[in-house]
Structure 1
């Protein structure tokens, strides 16, 4: 199978690497330097344009920061639309928004190209291990076509509904995650400030009702250890929460906690800058009260 993969970021690169082991792989990235680095490490062909990347591909995957970037590389003389063949399929693993996905799907349908919004969850480690979770929005036939492709880097693949459904649940998932990160940081710095041992507090929390994926997995590995390895930019978390809020409001929901989560992320973004990783949220609250959550 000939696979085109566009977007070699922190998650996209290890996802694409799986295809290089058993398929013909063509890759493209907005940043040429990252493209060259990937091509030097993996068996693949580096394309100079999106059009060149998708030409003749059996399956095309995108993994970009937002749906707007996917829509952008569709267009123009060197865009994906100029390279697609009828009967093709675009599997979009971007953490995108449902409305743009539906617009892209409609446009692709006009040239007989199927579309599945297929955002992933699990982080860099799962991408490297090939154990990501994928939430798919597509019609039944397109989902069936996408599954063998997605199995190259995923261990759990769920058909959530029609186009847009995958991006809807991914945005809500990330909003819930963001809320757990902020509330953990606020609560834990208060406990440590009061003299409670951080390691002990996290252990008790993770055996009680206040635990979360963040507290169980990332806090021991990244916070208590002091590693704070960057994996997901705060700006992208803010973007995902904004998508979730728009989606929820379209459904008639009046969000209270998640609305405040979105506002808090804007404040944190302004304080920490465009390049901050989401783990910097913990350090922000540590500095606020003069303690560190370590142990």
Structure 2
């Protein structure tokens, strides 16, 4: 690999656009492949990126490819399709898989890529599209140590807090642990805010008291800015993706033969919201859903205190 490897990027959504933009702005040659939404593709091409039609073409031309997709079936399709990454992979290719994915799938794809003398790096993301645009994401990395050292300068273009947590697959496992905590927070915050509203404690009071105590944290802050302050788009992460992540975490627990009562309880809120037509709502909107289950309109409750 040269000092400036040629970079590919597949998946230009809320997170991927900012990550690819930072790579272009740091002077890398970047090839991109988008989906139906032309806006992020056109934006990156205007900045100097080059669009390709297939993942196969990207693999034939790039040294490092990023994938930033919604789930493991999408990642598998990009790898295994007739015009996928594996069809064009050559010795030395590194794929940095930044989706929140099923570790079993990740390890299988890594083995298939290794047969082409390529290398998998699983590097799922923490934080939000705001940090993606700023190049300050959190990143937990699963990779062989020598491969990690080779791609670290690339990852540093879009991440500020980078931790290698083990070999291939460990990054996705760590991400599922992280999202179990965050989605557990979301379920708990929704539940207690609704309980408070029905018991005479306003959402504003919950926000103030908890936010100023040792129980406050960044996730609580953004969650309550949505629920209480009406910043509906402050956390652009869908209930469908949250439900998927908790499903993968449940699979991971089953494989490890671990009892996970809190994980299972939190997952039910997301599964129910998804099943009742709210899959594309953002995670903090879970408070609306829990409120409706308990006969209360949380948007109106929050408006009372403004």
Residues in 2 aligned to 1:263 and 1:198: alpha-carbon distance in whole angstroms = 23
TM-score (norm 2): 0.90
Residues in 2 aligned to 1:208 and 1:146: alpha-carbon distance in whole angstroms = 40
Structure 1 stretches lacking a partner, 5+ long: none
Confirm or deny that 1:173 pairs with 2:182: no
The alignment covers a number of residue pairs equal to 294
CA RMSD of aligned residues (A): 1.9
1:62-77 to 2 correspondences below 5 Å? 62-77=67-82
Q: Which digits, 9 at most, give the CA deviation of each residue in 1:65-96, with x for residues without a partner?
A: 11221121122431112222211111100111
Q: Which digits, 9 at most, give the CA deviation of each residue in 1:212-236, with x for residues without a partner?
A: 432123423x332212116111111
Q: Is the 8 A contact 2:32 2:41 kept in 1?
A: no
**2:228 — aligned with what?**
224
Confirm or deny that 1:138 pairs with 2:143: yes
Residues in 2 aligned to 1:293 and 1:184: alpha-carbon distance in whole angstroms = 14
Confirm or deny that 1:50 pairs with 2:59: no
Query: Kindly tell me: are residues 274 and 285 of structure 1, through their superposed partners in 2, closer, same or farther at Cα, counting changes over 3 Å?
Result: closer
Confirm or deny that 1:293 pairs with 2:302: yes
Q: Is the 8 A contact 2:228 2:302 kept in 1?
A: yes
Q: Which moved more, 1:222-231 or 1:29-38?
A: 29-38
What is the Cα deviation at residue 46 of structure 1? 0.9
Confirm or deny that 1:207 pairs with 2:212: yes
1:157-172 to 2 correspondences below 5 Å? 157-172=162-177
Residues in 2 aligned to 1:247 and 1:80: alpha-carbon distance in whole angstroms = 26
Q: Which moved more, 1:149-158 or 1:264-273?
A: 264-273
Where 1:11 maps in the other structure, the secondary structure is: helix
Where 1:171 maps in the other structure, the secondary structure is: helix
What is the Cα deviation at residue 45 of structure 1? 0.6
Structure 2 stretches lacking a partner, 5+ long: none
Confirm or deny that 1:61 pairs with 2:66: yes
**1:233 — aligned with what?**
238
Moved over 6 A (4+): none
Q: Is the 8 A contact 1:172 1:241 kept in 2?
A: no
Q: Which digits, 9 at most, give the CA deviation of each residue in 1:179-206, with x for residues without a partner?
A: 1111111111222333434333212102
1:236-255 to 2 correspondences below 5 Å? 236-255=241-260
What is the aligned counterpart of 2:15 among 11, 15, 18?
A: 11
Q: Is the 8 A contact 2:186 2:223 kept in 1?
A: no
Query: Kindly tell me: are residues 272 and 182 of structure 1, through their superposed partners in 2, closer, same or farther at Cα, counting changes over 3 Å?
Result: farther
Residues in 2 aligned to 1:290 and 1:20: alpha-carbon distance in whole angstroms = 45
Q: Is the 8 A contact 1:50 1:79 kept in 2?
A: yes
Confirm or deny that 1:28 pairs with 2:33: yes
Where 1:81 maps in the other structure, the secondary structure is: helix
**1:105 — aligned with what?**
110
**1:125 — aligned with what?**
130
What is the aligned counterpart of 2:281 among 259, 268, 276?
A: 276
Q: Is the 8 A contact 2:89 2:113 kept in 1?
A: no
What is the Cα deviation at residue 32 of structure 1? 5.5
What is the Cα deviation at residue 286 of structure 1? 3.6
Q: Which moved more, 1:258-267 or 1:187-196?
A: 187-196
TM-score (norm 1): 0.93
Q: Is the 8 A contact 2:33 2:41 kept in 1?
A: no
Q: Is the 8 A contact 1:62 1:92 kept in 2?
A: yes
